[in-house]
Amino acid sequence: MKGRPVTAAQKRFHDQMASLGCIASLKDGFFDPMVSIHHIDGRTKPTAHWLVLPLSAGNHQHGTGAPGRIAVHPNKGQFEARYGKQMDLLRECIRMLLERGVDVPEAAIEAAGMKKENPATAATVLGAIQRYTEVY
């Protein structure tokens, strides 16, 4: 498959994301641990392997997985109408990881358009997590 090679750090990030289960299924009210990593913006751009979502088969590719799921391929518009913009879902996943105390790579945070406040200035660890802000 065409694209940039995945680094060890990116593979670890993909594993971290997969630990969340399918983000679309979570939005539908249930946990689906069987996921694949969906690339939001292709596989060739410098940040491609940081811009990913954990999706179940049915939410990733049409005609796979459980019936009745809305797949991002080829139904991006329907998928985003139900679950939200993919970049917003990525930021939500990163926040979930941070709330779990996962050490999310800075490159992933930056690629998602988020900025990390200096934890030394935060009153609490949770306060530091809550102060991750979107920069766009």
**What is the rounded distance in angstroms from the CA atom of residue 71 to the CA atom of residue 58?**
6
Query: What is the percentage of the chain residues whose pLDDT exceeds 90?
Result: 77
Higher pLDDT among residues 119 and 50, named by residue = 50
Structure confidence by residue, pLDDT tens digits, 8-54: 999 999 999 999 999 999 999 999 999 999 999 999 999 999 999 99
**What is residue 133's predicted lDDT score, i.e. its pLDDT?**
46
On the question of pLDDT at 86 being above 90, the answer is yes
- Determine the residue type at 13: F
Tokens in use for 94? Answer: 């990163």
Q: Is 124 exposed, middle or buried, given 0-12, 13-18 or 19+ CB atoms closer than 10 A?
A: exposed
On the question of pLDDT at 125 being above 70, the answer is no
* Average pLDDT for the chain: 88
